[in-house]
Structure 1
Amino acid sequence: MEFYLDVPIRDDSLEKLNIGDRVYLNGVIYTARDSAHKRMIDALDEGRKLPFDIVGSVIYYVGPTPARPGNVIGSAGPTTSYRMDKYTPRLLDLGLKGMIGKGNRSDEVIKSIVKNKAVYFAATGGVGALISKCIVKSEVIAFEELGPEAIRRLEVKNFPVIVVIDTNGKNLYEEGVKKYKIA
């Protein structure tokens, strides 16, 4: 099925999503990769605030290339997600509702997704230049010194993703293999 979803997420709209659903995100999402995740967790450990309101937010695991003249952002393809797994459960417990990346997640992350009624989305790797066309505004809001790994606030319009792990813990990567596995 196809859904249009406003972000940040302020309701129970994720519960109607199932693995394989195509979703088009509209609103504000944030970028963060492993270095930024570590800094966010360090900030929390030190009693400091995160650089954005995590409640209802979606984090896109991406390190975009520099924008060409006249463009908002450069190529913005997804990063492999497992590198954020050690940080993710804590952020989900604080209200993170979605993550966008590519590749499998750990059992601990999947359990936390279910516990917190969140969703893991995949963006298609290899089409970062096309995905970037759905980003209408980009601004660095934290850790500028990290370059491509800085945290950015992105305004997106019809940003295409696929539900890979739903609020019930179903996993498209596992179900897809089962569906097409030859006995």
Structure 2
Amino acid sequence: MKKILTTPIKAEDLADIRVGDVIYLNGTLVTCRDVCHRRLIELKREIPYDLRGKAIFHAGPIVRKNGEKWEMVSIGPTTSMRMESFEKEFIEQTGVRLIVGKGGMGPNTVAGCKEFKALHVIFPAGCAVVAATQVEEIEEVHWTELGMPESLWVCRVKEFGPLIVSIDTHGNNLIDENKKVFAPALRTDRGRDLSARPLHQVNRQEG
């Protein structure tokens, strides 16, 4: 049976969810990237949409006008770590419950999710067109002066996912746990110490 969260999401809805779980979303999903986070945290500008109990998506979508309405063409995740320095304060100030993005996030977000009861979840990369089909309607758009990728697109979604829980409300971080599991296997390769090397270099052939 699919685990489906429906906005507005309450703290108790998240209590039994753990890292590694796969969930889906019904309801409101708002695109929210770097500039939105900076405007709220650094510039103290109020976000023109109530995010309490809602979900945000670290994404810069492609949309098109169809008559009087906007429709989603493609919506793929942005690397969530770009928002790491802002995320704890963002969660506290907005009351957002679900953060959707690409890749993991760090200790600042873990602390925010634990203290203020939110989840970070990973949407699979490379599925931007599929994601667009799960957007039933674009209900509102705000901050259009920022351009298409940075505008706040308020979407109504149906079974949006799959979403892999990477940070839960108990302070667990799936990416950090995986690093602990796989790090020993990466420490040596033909006698060479690889523990301090970036992962993208580990499999590189060297002459």
TM-score > 0.5, shorter chain as reference: yes
User: Retained in 1: the 8 A contact 2:40–2:90?
Assistant: no
Q: Matched residue of 2:15: which SS? A: helix
Structure 2 residue runs of 5 or longer lacking an equivalent are 186-207
Q: Counterpart of 1:87?
A: 86
Question: By how many angstroms is 1:26 displaced?
Answer: 0.2
Shift of 1:63: 0.4
Q: Summarize the alignment of residues 71-82 of structure 1 with structure 2, pairs less than 5 Å apart.
A: 72-82=71-81
Where in structure 2 are the equivalents of 1:109-124 lying within 5 Å? 109-124=109-124
Q: If you compute each CA radius of gyration, which structure gives the higher value, 1 or 2?
A: 2
Residue 10 of structure 2 contacts residue 97 of structure 2 at CA under 8 Å; is this kept in 1? no
Question: Which of the pair has the greater relative contact order for Cα pairs under 8 Å at 6+ separation?
Answer: 1
TM-score for the superposition, normalised by structure 2: 0.78
- Partners in 2 of 1:162 and 1:88 — Cα distance? 18
- Consecutive unaligned residues of structure 1, counting only runs of 5 or more, are none
- Give the whole-Å Cα distance in 2 for the aligned partners of 1:129 and 1:140: 20
User: Is the CA contact 1:54–1:91 (under 8 Å) kept in the aligned structure 2?
Assistant: no
State the distance in 2 between where 1:171 and 1:99 align: 14
Letter in 2 for 1:113: C
Return closer, same or farther for 1:11/1:115 CA change in 2, 3 Å cut-off.
closer
Amino acid at match of 1:14: L
- 8 A Cα contact 1:118 1:167, kept in partner: yes
Counterpart of 1:51 in structure 2 is 48
Deviation at 1:182, TM superposition (A): 5.1
Q: Aligned runs of 1:12-161 on 2, under 5 Å?
A: 12-41=12-41, 45=44, 49-67=46-64, 72-94=71-93, 95-146=95-146, 147-160=148-161, 161=163
**Alpha-carbon shift at residue 24 of structure 1 (Å):** 0.9
CA RMSD of aligned residues (A): 2.2
Aligned length: 180
Secondary structure in 2 matching 1:159: strand
Contact kept? 2:58, 2:99, Cα under 8 Å: yes
Overall identity of the aligned pairs, in %: 33
Deviation at 1:179, TM superposition (A): 3.9
Segment of structure 1 superposing worse, 140-149 or 125-134:
140-149
Higher mean C-alpha deviation, range 155-164 or range 11-20? 11-20
Q: What secondary structure does 2:104 align onto?
A: coil
**Structure 2 vs 1, CA of residues 74 and 15 (structure 1 numbering), >3 Å: closer, same or farther?**
same
